[in-house]
């Protein structure tokens, strides 16, 4: 295999664990010594496995000198140009590039109706922008929340990873160029939509879409301020009608 010094960099414990399971099932770990790392602000525990905490900027020389392939799996740090130029960097991205690149693609796909899915791509010096190795769209239903769409995307990421990991390690994969630069959403854009303006006019569809886009498990995302200045968090519960359970 061409790439034999591999680091998987992730801030998502579920995804990291599942990726390692795929590697073990394929017995790739018998041929390559994979190392795993997370960002300093993450708290990932995977049993007896050591997850090294690495600040990319502070450890740039270490990464360049010790790895020839780095796989980013929901790593929340920006990869600098110097690292991308000297080490092959692959990104597992929870979005259908080039649509809604950046933060929380499924959130913005619910709002702006652009496609959502999973993409594995080469990294370049722009966010979620490089040549596409493989990608697949997932469905987004009217009764989905951010969480349910995200879980569907996670499942697809694992399916795609299983299909191409050996091709990536052998550098024998095809690439396609994104159809356009698409659009990008930053963390500041997400923070802005979380603050619900009670004086703004919404259609019923727009308001429901906003709330379900910001509803994600136990996270407190959407909020407004009441007349006393209290910050009030709000979520939505959606359920598809089940005729068997009707009175």
Quick: pLDDT tens for 191-223: 999 999 999 999 999 999 999 999 999 999 999
Residue 157: enclosing H or E segment and its boundaries?
Answer: helix 146-169
Could you tell me which residue, 146 or 44, shows the higher pLDDT?
146
14 and 115 housed in the same domain:
yes
**Helix %, strand %, coil % for the chain, to 5?**
35, 20, 45
Beta carbons of 58 and 36 less than 8 angstroms apart = no
The overall average pLDDT reported for the chain is 94
18 and 137 housed in the same domain:
yes
Question: Among residues of the chain, what percentage have pLDDT more than 70?
Answer: 98
Q: Which of 74, 93, 129, 216 is catalytic?
A: 93
Structural domain boundaries enclosing 132:
5-184
Number of domains in the chain: 2
Using CA atoms, how far apart are residues 95 and 58, in angstroms rounded to an integer? 28
Q: Is 141 a catalytic residue?
A: no
Query: In the beta sheet, which residues pair with residue 71?
Result: 8, 90
- Quick one: pLDDT at residue 245? 56
CATH classification of the domain holding 14 = 3.40.50.170
Does residue 61 lie in a domain region? yes
102 and 33 housed in the same domain:
yes
Tell me, what DSSP letter sits at residue 39?
-
pLDDT per position as a tens digit, 175-194: 999 989 999 999 999 999 99
Does residue 247 lie in a domain region? no
20 and 111 housed in the same domain:
yes
Using DSSP's 3-state secondary structure scheme, residue 146 falls into helix
132 and 44 housed in the same domain:
yes
144 and 208 housed in the same domain:
no
- Check whether 74 has a pLDDT greater than 60: yes
83 and 158 housed in the same domain:
yes
What value does the mean pLDDT take over residues 95-117?
Answer: 97
Beta carbons of 121 and 133 less than 8 angstroms apart = yes
Using CA atoms, how far apart are residues 41 and 23, in angstroms rounded to an integer? 26
191 and 169 housed in the same domain:
no
Q: Model-level pTM?
A: 0.92
171 and 233 housed in the same domain:
no
- Quick one: pLDDT at residue 101? 96
211 and 131 housed in the same domain:
no
């Amino acid at each position: 295999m061409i790439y034999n010094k591999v680091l998987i960099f992730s801030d998502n414990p579920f995804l990291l664990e599942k990726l390692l399971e795929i590697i073990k099932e394929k017995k790739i770990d018998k041929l390559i010594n994979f190392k795993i790392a997370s960002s300093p602000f993450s708290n990932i525990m995977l049993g007896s496995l050591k997850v090294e905490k690495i600040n990319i900027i502070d450890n740039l020389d270490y990464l360049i000198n010790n790895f020839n392939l780095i796989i980013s799996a929901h790593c929340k740090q920006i990869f600098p140009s110097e690292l991308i130029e000297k080490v092959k960097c692959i990104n597992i991205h929870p979005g259908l590039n080039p649509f809604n690149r950046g933060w929380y693609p499924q959130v913005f796909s619910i709002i702006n109706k652009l496609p959502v899915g999973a993409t594995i791509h080469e990294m370049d010096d722009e966010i979620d922008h490089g040549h596409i190795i493989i990608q697949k769209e997932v469905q987004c239903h009217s009764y989905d929340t951010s969480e349910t769409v995200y879980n569907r995307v996670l499942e697809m990421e694992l399916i795609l990873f299983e299909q191409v990991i050996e091709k990536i390690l052998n550098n024998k994969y095809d690439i396609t160029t994104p159809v356009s630069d698409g659009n990008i959403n930053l963390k500041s854009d997400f923070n802005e939509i979380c603050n619900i303006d009670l004086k703004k006019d919404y259609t019923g569809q727009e308001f429901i879409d906003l709330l379900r886009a910001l509803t994600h498990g136990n996270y407190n995302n959407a909020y407004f301020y009441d007349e006393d200045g209290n910050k009030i968090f709000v979520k939505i519960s959606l359920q598809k009608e089940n005729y068997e359970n009707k009175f």
